[in-house]
Structure 1
Amino acid sequence: MKIFTSALVTETNTFSTFPTTLRSFEELGIVRGPVADDVLSDVGPIVKQWRRLAAAHGDTVQEGVYAIAQPAGIVEAAAYRQLRGEILAALKQALPVDMVLLFLHGAMVADGVDDCEGDLIAAIRAEAGSACVIGVELDPHCHMSNTMATQADAIILMREYPHVDYEARAVELFELCRAAAAGATRPVMAVADCAMVGFYPTTAQPMRGLVDRLAEVERLPGILSASYVHGFPWGDVPDAGSKVLVVADGDRALAEQTAQELARALYRARSALQPRLESVAQVLDPAPAGPFPVILADAGDNPGGGAPCDHTALLAALLQRPALRCAFGMLWDPEAVAACRAAGQGAQLRLRIGGKAGPASGHGLDLDVTVHGVAEQHFQRAGQLHDPLGSAAWVRCAGVDIVLVSRRQQTLSPTAFTGLGVPLHEAQVIAVKSSHHYYAEFSRLSSNCHVIETGAALSMDFARLPYRRRSMAFFPAVANPIPELA
């Protein structure tokens, strides 16, 4: 068989004032043709798995265009048109193909296109023809549209949050699609809408149990795959929200029935699934007795959801508690990094940190700091991910070690600190810019983890998000929007 693969990945926060441009994709690198395993964060390992499986079957792989951008605001129309056009041009050169495998996010919104993934899949279907099997791997924080579900043959979502299973899901997608292309199965999909907006880490109950049930469902006769669509709360589009996707073998009624059963289980847990954020005072006052380190997550300023990553409220709270040894990072501030690099290691200077990107950034802090470390090319490593962070600096102020970076990215790994020399083992409190992806690596240091309310950009008061385009008939804005699921 001949297989075409490609990727276009970004998550659009429609409330963000930062546009996503072609340069946003170029920052991480746009690969045209074969992609190395160690580039483009998650893309390389996924393509490696598809290559490996194809070789085992004696198939050939034509690799197209791969582009990924850090989450931000709406994608500029010209940028989307260019990347879409390049993917389609690469597909045309590869035709005819038996399978198309795509790695997409699912919550990409461009100026004039609410559903970029659905639009792209439909265009690929038009080029590749009805006989071609199209499979798509999506992030669970996606908007599951009708176009996606009708134009693709099979869609599989990452199951875990943090997303530690993206390679496993890529393998599952390949095997499902190849069986369909060989005529052994006939996948059909059904989607059930739960009328919910939420935030669902899979490391804690009740979401852990709900996710574990998916494996049981997939062992039922006729079920090929089942996925929970978490949805991306900060995307104001009609398709936003939590859903369930089921792929069955030729039996659409079975797919629909199973999707409804899983949707009912998610819906009945809706109150227990609401996020429980804490204040700094609740966690640190009086001074905690341990276990150490205490890990604080600034979910509101998570750049992985499109936030600026230079909000300073949590840092200010740590500075007010000098009795605690703290580490804080990563804060996006290219100007402060440049000042530290110019001053050099060991320098003492007055530095304005954070609060620079816009209204959602809060206020900058004027601090007397000592520069303890600088790096021209800093990175963090999480699992197989080698994540470049640009130039960076480690400064200390009043017992707080602060990591500043020039590339906007959430904190995924302790190496974001230790790679600059920060003595993380001495920290009683570690504060990170992340919602939950930090947990995969930092929970190895401590189970004493807390999500902190800082008043930053990504509000989890979902009922009060300023939606204009999606229906407000969802939980928690409405207590019981689908009575038949209760």
Structure 2
Amino acid sequence: MKLFIATLSTETNTFCTMPTAMSGFQEYFLRHGTATQEPPNLMTEALHVWREKAEALDWQVVESLTAIAEPAGPTTRACYDALSGEILSDLADCGGADIILLQLHGAMVSEHIEDCEGDILARVRAQCPDATVGVSLDLHSHLTDKMLEASDLIVHFREYPHDDASACATELFDLAQRTYAGEITPRMAFFDTRMVNLYLTKAGAMKEFVAEMAATQTNPGVLSVSLSHGFPWADVKDVGARMLVITDDHPDMAALLAEWLGRRFFDLREDVTTDYLPIRDALNKVGTRPGLCVLADMGDNSGGGAPGDATHVLEAMLARGLTNFASGLFWDPGVVRICQDAGVGSRLTVRLGGKTGVVSGNPIDLNVTVMGIETGLGQHLGTGLEPMGTVVWLRLKGEIDLLVNDLRVQVYHPEAFEQVGIRLAEKSVVVVKSLFHFYGPFSQISDHIFQVASPGGTQPAFQNIALTKRKLPYWPAVAQPFADPARDLDAPKSSRSTANSVQ
């Protein structure tokens, strides 16, 4: 038995002016068949799981490319062709495989291909028509007909923040093994819920809905249930949340169940979405209760393709005269270089942020002391350790501490601050440039957390995003995108069977 595994992952914000090029993969994570020789991160956890399980069964494992880049604009043609070509070349060189498992993102867009994952899977299928092909996807994916037609199995992460990558990898492996052995015949179907938004799964109605999906998955004949949340800052025709169901040789059941769950999710639309505060309202919350207050600078989340150098929240806090707070991570390689040259202990005037474009706001001139410079640090996202690049700790008058780095990455964990020497327990406020991934670890140190609808490349104003390619109306841009809920059915899409027929 031969297993082929690979990873190609980046999330594309089509409104971002910074292209994703080979340098983005090189500085974040690029390995040519050796990723499982290193500790796992979020997008390599699956490879570790698959290798371990396969080797326990004495299977031959062929590990190909692992390429991960922080989200930005569309991937350049040359970069995409080189990376996807390497995977296909490795697959050809090893003579194909019985089972092919890929960890992809699901929201990768290149200059010339809107559905990169569908393209990769179609080329894999053409090259190995008889193989069992499975793919694990981030839940912020654009689930497409092409993906279903070219694969046997698709499993999404179900949690946001993503702390279930290993569990999903295990599920996919087990289903692929059973499929190849002829024990099951997967049939997939999805339903477009006509929703474009973000959904935090750790509390409230969304947590309950994830549990409802898990309960549904235990029904006879149901193999897997997952929800593609979609990635809202992508102007592609398949943007939006889609419910996916896999059954054992029951395509009609898959379609009906996908629609039933999808409409159930739509009915919960108001309950499963989060309220986001304008900057002014969020700052009014500061000091209203004892302990650390956490503010999420949602509009400048580099994990969604924002630059990471926006100054809107910092400028407002300084204008109010707030003190004793921490904020980061600011992506500003120029400031990092200046501080490296000056050295720890230096007192400088630096021009921070606001350099990438209009969405980043104004650069701010600050008198700072360089408190520390660290290279090679990481922060945990689940069990994986994500790189931080070179990190500089700057201190302003009033016990204001800022983290600046040269690698675009969002804040995942309090250790991003703590390990350089910033003691969050002594702060009144910490501002994290992140959407939701910070939530779990920071909720362990604060019960005073607010999502801030700040301006920037990932501002959560979903009704205003200029989605020109989506054909069907969607909520919240339209109050009722199903004109007649009783008759206006967006028919669920179903997939190929293991016999290569389209259901």
Contact 2:206 2:271 in 1 (8 A): no
> C-alpha displacement at 1:155, in angstroms?
0.1
Counterpart residue number, 1:138: 137
In 2, Cα distance between the equivalents of 1:322 and 1:20?
Answer: 38
Deviations 1:271-299 (A, max 9, x none): 23343111343233375242421100011
Counterpart residue number, 2:459: 459
Counterpart residue number, 2:236: 237
> C-alpha displacement at 1:376, in angstroms?
3.3
Specify the code of the residue in structure 2 equivalent to 1:461.
A
Contact 2:42 2:382 in 1 (8 A): no
In 1, Cα distance between the equivalents of 2:21 and 2:171?
Answer: 32
> C-alpha displacement at 1:252, in angstroms?
0.2
In 1, Cα distance between the equivalents of 2:162 and 2:16?
Answer: 23
> C-alpha displacement at 1:322, in angstroms?
4.2
In the alignment, structure 1 residue 173 sits paired with structure 2 residue 161: no
> C-alpha displacement at 1:115, in angstroms?
0.4
Counterpart residue number, 1:440: 440
Counterpart residue number, 1:341: 340
Shift in alpha-carbon separation, 1:122–1:385, aligned structure 2, 3 A: same
In the alignment, structure 1 residue 478 sits paired with structure 2 residue 478: yes
In 1, Cα distance between the equivalents of 2:107 and 2:181?
Answer: 31
Counterpart residue number, 1:327: 326
Deviations 1:282-328 (A, max 9, x none): 23337524242110001110000000000011112222344542110
Shift in alpha-carbon separation, 1:254–1:294, aligned structure 2, 3 A: same
Specify the code of the residue in structure 1 equivalent to 2:204.
Q
189-198 or 270-279: bigger deviation:
270-279
Shift in alpha-carbon separation, 1:64–1:413, aligned structure 2, 3 A: same
Shift in alpha-carbon separation, 1:321–1:400, aligned structure 2, 3 A: farther
In the alignment, structure 1 residue 363 sits paired with structure 2 residue 376: no
> C-alpha displacement at 1:45, in angstroms?
2.4
Counterpart residue number, 1:2: 2
Higher RCO, Cα 8 Å, sep 6+: 2
Shift in alpha-carbon separation, 1:40–1:26, aligned structure 2, 3 A: farther
In 1, Cα distance between the equivalents of 2:299 and 2:83?
Answer: 30
Counterpart residue number, 1:108: 108
> C-alpha displacement at 1:206, in angstroms?
1.5
- Tell me the percent identity: 38
Shift in alpha-carbon separation, 1:334–1:211, aligned structure 2, 3 A: same
In 2, Cα distance between the equivalents of 1:378 and 1:57?
Answer: 36
Shift in alpha-carbon separation, 1:323–1:72, aligned structure 2, 3 A: closer
Counterpart residue number, 2:450: 450
Counterpart residue number, 2:196: 197
In 2, Cα distance between the equivalents of 1:103 and 1:286?
Answer: 40
Unmatched runs of 5 consecutive residues or more in structure 1 = none
* Partner secondary structure for residue 297 of structure 1: strand
Shift in alpha-carbon separation, 1:470–1:168, aligned structure 2, 3 A: same
* Partner secondary structure for residue 389 of structure 2: strand
Structure 1 residues 285-296: aligned runs within 5 Å: 285=284, 287-296=286-295
What is the TM-score when the length of structure 1 is the normalising length?
A: 0.96
For these two proteins, the number of residue pairs brought into alignment is 485
Contact 1:28 1:40 in 2 (8 A): no
Deviations 1:81-100 (A, max 9, x none): 11111100100122241100
What is the TM-score when the length of structure 2 is the normalising length?
A: 0.93
Contact 2:312 2:360 in 1 (8 A): no
In 2, Cα distance between the equivalents of 1:459 and 1:322?
Answer: 25
Specify the code of the residue in structure 1 equivalent to 2:150.
Q
Deviations 1:103-126 (A, max 9, x none): 000000111101000000000001
In 2, Cα distance between the equivalents of 1:199 and 1:41?
Answer: 23
In the alignment, structure 1 residue 257 sits paired with structure 2 residue 256: yes
> C-alpha displacement at 1:386, in angstroms?
2.2
Shift in alpha-carbon separation, 1:286–1:10, aligned structure 2, 3 A: closer
Contact 1:10 1:70 in 2 (8 A): yes
